[in-house]
Amino acid sequence: MILDDEINLLDYLSNGKSTRHATLIDPEKQSPEEASMICQTAIEAGTDLILIGGSTTDKSSVDRTVEVIQETMELQHWASTQNGIFDEQKTTVPVLLFPNASSTLTNKSDGILFMSLLNGKSPKYIVEEQRKATEFIKNYNITTISTAYLIFEPGMKVGNVSNADLINTEDTDNIKSWIRLAEYFKFSILYLEAGSGAFPPLNEKIIKIAKNEYNGILFVGGGIRTPEQAREAVNGGANWIVTGNLIESFENYNLLKTKLKILIDNIKKPPDG
């Protein structure tokens, strides 16, 4: 993104008047050039944030994907200042890392969700990978946003790979205790994850619990593909809704834009009632 010096990244994430949409791109699922096309399609459809992460363990693919996306946005931004082609259209959004390991960091993003998997069964994704990342973050002066990451049933691949102690979606008291943990540690973001392709996604009741118990920025992701599913998250009080699996099912960018725009328009409507 062409970040204005006066724009604070945390302020950008927290100051939305309505629920906003983030597009999650896994560098391992397509080439950097294809990822850039998906990114531009998502921006045209109304997305507000690009997250880069997922299954990849290849630092070079992360680095190159972020680089191409940023270069494309710079070109679009430049074009918008020349002849008014993009006057009525947003051309840039922040690009943040959503890393799965300290080995996949890049200094080309606008910042990083510095996540701790609170319900991990081992220290690896709670503090160990984070500790390993600190030298890189320090050397490149990368903006970090402290993020509590909670994985709920069914968890899907991310639940298995991370060896998470999946949170039972029916155990209200346990859900509250995990969310309060994020609140008392004062994480800037709480990210509720059901896992890529999860069915069903996290329901309105769970998201409302999180909204009542936690006072920061609330992200919700995992399996949200339809406007109806998105509306549940909106009505629950999510500040951000993340979709990734949805974009992987389209090869036609025009169809993807149409599908995303319908979803995003529903996300940005006020809660029902």
CATH number for position 148: 3.20.20.390
Residue from 30, 68, 21, 22 nearest 253 by CA? 30
Residue from 82, 120, 77 nearest 95 by CA? 77
pLDDT at res. 266: 98
pLDDT at 83 over 80: no
> How many angstroms separate the most distant Cα atoms in the chain?
57
Instruction: Classify residue 240: in a domain, yes or no.
Output: yes
Whether 110 contacts 152, CB under 8 Å: no
Q: Express each pLDDT in 3-62 by its tens digit.
A: 554 468 999 999 988 999 999 999 988 999 999 999 999 999 999 999 999 866 678 999
Return the sign of the alpha-carbon dihedral for residues 58, 10, 214, 212: negative
Instruction: Classify residue 50: in a domain, yes or no.
Output: yes
Q: What is the mean pLDDT of the chain?
A: 92
DSSP string for 166-233: PBPTT-HHHHHHHHHHHHHTT-SEEEEE--TT-SS---HHHHHHHHHH--SEEEEESS--SHHHHHHH
Distance CA 53, CA 44 (A): 21
Reported confidence tier of residue 147, pLDDT bands at 50, 70, 90: very high
Domain count, the chain: 1
Whether 198 contacts 169, CB under 8 Å: no
Q: Express each pLDDT in 93-110 by its tens digit.
A: 999 999 989 999 999 999
pLDDT at res. 184: 98
Instruction: Classify residue 166: in a domain, yes or no.
Output: yes
Instruction: Classify residue 2: in a domain, yes or no.
Output: no
pLDDT at res. 5: 47
Residue 273 half-sphere exposure toward CB, CA atoms < 13 A: 6
pLDDT > 90 in the chain, percent:
77
The letter for the amino acid at 151 is I
Beta bridge mates, 14: none
Q: Domain containing 116: what range?
A: 9-267
Q: Express each pLDDT in 157-187 by its tens digit.
A: 888 888 899 999 999 999 999 999 999 999 9
pLDDT at 201 over 90: yes
